[in-house]
């Protein structure tokens, strides 16, 4: 009898885990045709599957880092605030603009590491003062960086 309950419990838990996993999977469709012309080493995918019961539209771009014809670069909002559309215009209409770092609304600077042509142009902020006139609390955010090596591996 114990073996039966164990097996039944195992099936029940497996069923729950399988259904949770299948609920969390998004269906991505290749939509390259909507974004032509694209280099052969670049593909765009889209999903309109709901997230947490709410409408959702998301895209991701897949690019072959080994394709030397693709130029990957960075830009920052140092002492200015630019939207992704403004970055697109400022940088001669690149194939893709990705908004990837947190930034300060007060100083208009990136709060994460950004390196361009071997120079540090954005810095991780190590301490953020708490709110309030006489507070002695501080927040210490985790640093982050995204990069592509010279070998593009």
| pLDDT value at residue 2 | 46
Nearest to 121 by CA among 65, 80, 153: 80
pLDDT tens-digit readout, 43-65 = 999 999 999 899 999 999 999 98
pLDDT tens-digit readout, 115-129 = 888 888 777 777 777
| pLDDT value at residue 47 | 96
| pLDDT value at residue 56 | 94
pTM score, two decimals? 0.65
| pLDDT value at residue 73 | 84
| pLDDT value at residue 115 | 80
Domain ranges, ordered by start, for the chain = 25-71, 73-143
Residues of the chain with pLDDT under 50: 1-7, 9, 19-22
């Amino acid at each position: 009898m114990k073996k039966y309950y164990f097996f039944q419990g195992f099936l029940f838990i497996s069923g729950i885990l399988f259904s949770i996993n299948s609920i969390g999977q998004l269906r991505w469709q290749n939509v390259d045709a909507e974004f032509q012309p694209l280099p052969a080493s670049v593909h765009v995918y889209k999903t309109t599957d709901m997230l947490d019961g709410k409408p959702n539209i998301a895209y991701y771009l897949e690019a072959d880092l080994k394709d030397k014809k693709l130029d990957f670069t960075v830009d920052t909002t140092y002492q200015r605030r630019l939207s992704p559309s403004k970055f697109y215009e400022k940088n001669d209409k690149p194939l893709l603009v990705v908004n990837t770092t947190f930034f300060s609304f007060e100083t208009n600077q990136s709060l994460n590491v950004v390196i361009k042509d071997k120079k540090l142009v954005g810095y991780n902020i190590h301490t953020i003062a708490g709110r309030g006139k006489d507070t002695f609390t501080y927040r210490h955010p985790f640093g982050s960086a995204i990069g592509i090596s010279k070998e593009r591996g």
